Amino acid sequence: MSDIAIDKPLETVDEQAVPATQVRGYWRSVVYRLRHDPATLFFTAILLLIVLAAIFAPLIAPFDAYKDSVVARLKPIGWRDHLLGTDELGRDMLSRLIYGGRVSLMMGVVPVLIASLVGGLLGVVGGFAGGRINTAIMRAMDVFYAFPSVLLAVAVAGAMGGGMGNGMLALTLVFIPPMCRVAETATTQVRSLDYIEAARATGASTITIIRYHVLGNVLGPVFVYASSLVSVSILLASGLSFLGLGVRPPTADWGLMLSTLRQSIYVVPFVCALPGAAIFITSISFNLVSDGLRAAMDVRM
Amino acid sequence: MIFYILRRILYAIPIAFGVSIVCFSLVYIAPGDPLQTVMPPDATAETIEIVKHAYGFDKPIPMQYLIWLGHLLTGDFGMSISTRRPVILEVTDALANTALLAVFAVPISFITGYAMGVIAGCFPGRWLDRLVTGTAVIGVSLPNYWLGIVLVVFFAVEYALLPATGMGPSGSTNFHILEWSSARYLVLPVFTLAMIPIGILARTTRAAVAEVRNQDFVQTLRAKGLSEGAVIRHVLKNSLPQVMAVMGLQFGYLLGGSILVETVFTWPGSGFLLSKAIINRDVPVLQGTILTLSLIFVATNLVVDLLQSLVDPRIRRA
């Protein structure tokens, strides 16, 4: 990472956060700032808990998330051993929420990852090549920009007939254009800087220049932007499942649980609100961690 | 200036065509035959051929696109498969209902969000800023369909103050906005719809205002002896283009109607029409709704760009 940090124009050390006498590398100052940001640390811990719970779901879930029971349907919070009650088929809510995190997190994170790769690559290529190639790429992206994001996701997922894979594909399609734009802007900014010219003069190939001198400047903004998209992606993914365009029953997923429990809202209102609360907590944690990262990495967009 | 307007309008035309191509191709990304879901399973091959011919599905795809586009340009969006009504009527009816929500949600969210952002941006780091930023982050992280459900539980189920869903007993035909018996159906959906734009606008405005306040010219204004009120006026004017860009996006979002919020409240708007079209696999309505909403979005962005260049002449030269 050290050679990336050297040519980082973002390395304007925040004078308030780091005393002028201390000279640090870019990443060390990022870590320093993160460590002194209690709110970000707190929400990172919450996220870690959610992720760990999802990964180790079979170990920590108190009940079988798919075992239904006719007698234990729609029980309130704290009924018998069911800490968070049961759903409309008598399945344990806590276990389903833990398992639901697997699907919801995956549908939130995977599209953003793929979109960062594809969109980032397109943006770097376009920004570095410039000229007609750039125009062609960016105009194509503009077409997808013309759709409101929710609408595009719903339209594509709906036309393809729903399902988890189609839902993730639709979300990826929604996130590629903004990702591409962020990468393109960052690339265009460094492309005209003197040190790129210097690298070229020393005989560095295009690939080398992109790899050592451009990527380092693009990764920061792309990473920060991607982290802010995860929260949007989780909301959209749950929204798709809520509309019946995401995962299918009986799979445990927060959006789908919210949708099926909606009918029972008069019976056990608090239990029905739980999946939404799970979505909200995850989404706000990603948002705040992303804000903290942006401040610590000093990325402006 | 006229040159800039013309160029910007010309630029919107290829985008509109691109949008139409994407909408058209929605039929073909669907698995299986576009007619499969409409036809009864025991339809004979002959019947299928007749229907295929009637809908033009037997022609090559580029031809189909051009025919479809030609019909669009004359205002013919096709017929709904499920209701047998012209798609254009379905879409305009739904849009009118969505506009009813937007008429209230736009000013509410814009004024609240902007005011919150300005207050926070003027006092960065203070408790007022923290309060606003906190509220804004909650606004953008809340799943609004969930918020809608919670509001229904609270206001409609527990306290029976407001109706839970719909537009009232007689639907949209007898909806009188000035009468409380009708208008009360608006309260919950409008509030739910406004939540996200409030959060997004507050965040953008705060960032824009805080950024401009750090610029050198603000120092100069203060050094000149301008009052704090006058300084803030300068700051606000300079941060306006950035805020307007986001307002434009949110305007488009509100006008397009949130499919999720309209589904929760069974509000017969464009979002609800879209979700019905998906459930019924009514492809003409799906295409027509998305095309109309996206074109509105394109037009909104065009208008915002032009307004921005009025506020900030520097944009015209870019």
Domain segments of chain A: what residues? 38-65+87-297
Q: What is the mean pLDDT of chain B?
A: 81
Residue A11 has pLDDT above 50, yes or no: no
CB contact under 8 A, A143 and B29: no
B108 in helix, strand or coil?
Answer: helix
CB contact under 8 A, B137 and A279: no
CA distance A124 to A216: 11
Query: Which residues in chain B have their CB less than 8 angstroms from residue A288's CB?
Result: 137
Report whether B236 contacts B149 (CB < 8 A). no
CB contact under 8 A, A235 and B143: yes
Q: What is the ipTM score, two decimals?
A: 0.81
CB contact under 8 A, B301 and A156: no
Give the residues across from A92 on adjacent strands.
Answer: A86
What does residue A248 show for φ and ψ, rounded to 5 degrees? -110, 150
pLDDT of residue A7: 39
CB contact under 8 A, B137 and A156: no
Please, what is the angle between helix A93-129 and helix A38-55, to 10°?
110
CB contact under 8 A, B294 and A151: yes
Amino acid at B137: V
Residue A22 has pLDDT above 60, yes or no: no
* Positive or negative: CA dihedral B164, B166, B169, B172: positive
CATH 1.10.3720.10 fits A38-65+87-297, yes or no: yes
Query: Which residues in chain B have their CB less than 8 angstroms from residue A40's CB?
Result: none
Closest Cβ opposite residue B253 in set A148, A155, A235: A148
Residue B77 has pLDDT above 90, yes or no: no
Give the residues across from A79 on adjacent strands.
Answer: A82
Please, what is the angle between helix A269-297 and helix B144-151, to 10°?
140
Share of chain B above pLDDT 70, in %: 88
CA distance A14 to A25: 13
A136-155 burial, b at 16+ Cβ within 10 Å, e below that, comes to ebbeebbbbbbbbbbbbbbb
Q: Which residues, other chains included, contact A28 with Cβ-Cβ below 8 Å and sequence gap of 6+?
A: none
Q: Which residues, other chains included, contact B174 with Cβ-Cβ below 8 Å and sequence gap of 6+?
A: B168, B182
Closest Cβ opposite residue B29 in set A156, A244, A276: A156
CA distance B89 to A39: 51
A82 in helix, strand or coil?
Answer: strand
Task: List pLDDT tens digits, range B186-209.
Answer: 888 888 888 888 988 998 898 888
CB contact under 8 A, B141 and A235: yes
Task: List pLDDT tens digits, range A260-274.
Answer: 877 777 777 777 788
Q: pTM here?
A: 0.82
Residues in chain B: 318
Task: List pLDDT tens digits, range A93-144.
Answer: 788 888 888 888 888 899 999 999 999 899 888 888 878 888 888 888 888 8
What does residue A142 show for φ and ψ, rounded to 5 degrees? -60, -35
Query: Which residues in chain B have their CB less than 8 angstroms from residue A139's CB?
Result: 14, 18
Residue B113 has pLDDT above 50, yes or no: yes
Q: What is the mean pLDDT of chain A?
A: 79
Report whether B257 contacts B245 (CB < 8 A). no
Report whether A264 contacts A88 (CB < 8 A). yes
Alpha helices in A192-268 (DSSP H): 194-201, 206-208, 215-242, 254-261
- In degrees, to the nearest 5, what angle opens at C-alpha A28 toward C-alphas A23 and A30? 110
What's the burial of A201, exposed, middle or buried (CB within 10 Å: 0-12/13-18/19+)? exposed
Report whether A25 contacts A2 (CB < 8 A). yes
Residue B135 has pLDDT above 90, yes or no: no
CA distance B195 to B197: 6
B282: left (phi over 0), alpha (psi -120 to 50) or beta: beta
A271-291 burial, b at 16+ Cβ within 10 Å, e below that, comes to bbbbbbbbbbebbbbbbbbbb
CA distance A26 to A287: 23
Task: List pLDDT tens digits, range A105-119.
Answer: 888 899 999 999 999
B116 in helix, strand or coil?
Answer: helix
CA distance A278 to A256: 12
Report whether A254 contacts A42 (CB < 8 A). no
As a whole number, mean pLDDT of residues B271-276 equals 86
Give the residues across from B86 on adjacent strands.
Answer: B79
State both tokens at B269.
């708007």
Q: Which residues, other chains included, contact A246 with Cβ-Cβ below 8 Å and sequence gap of 6+?
A: A107, A157, A162, A163, A164, A167, A237, A238, A240, A253, A255, A256
Mutate to test the interface with A, among B10, B145, B263 (most CBs of A within 10 A): B145
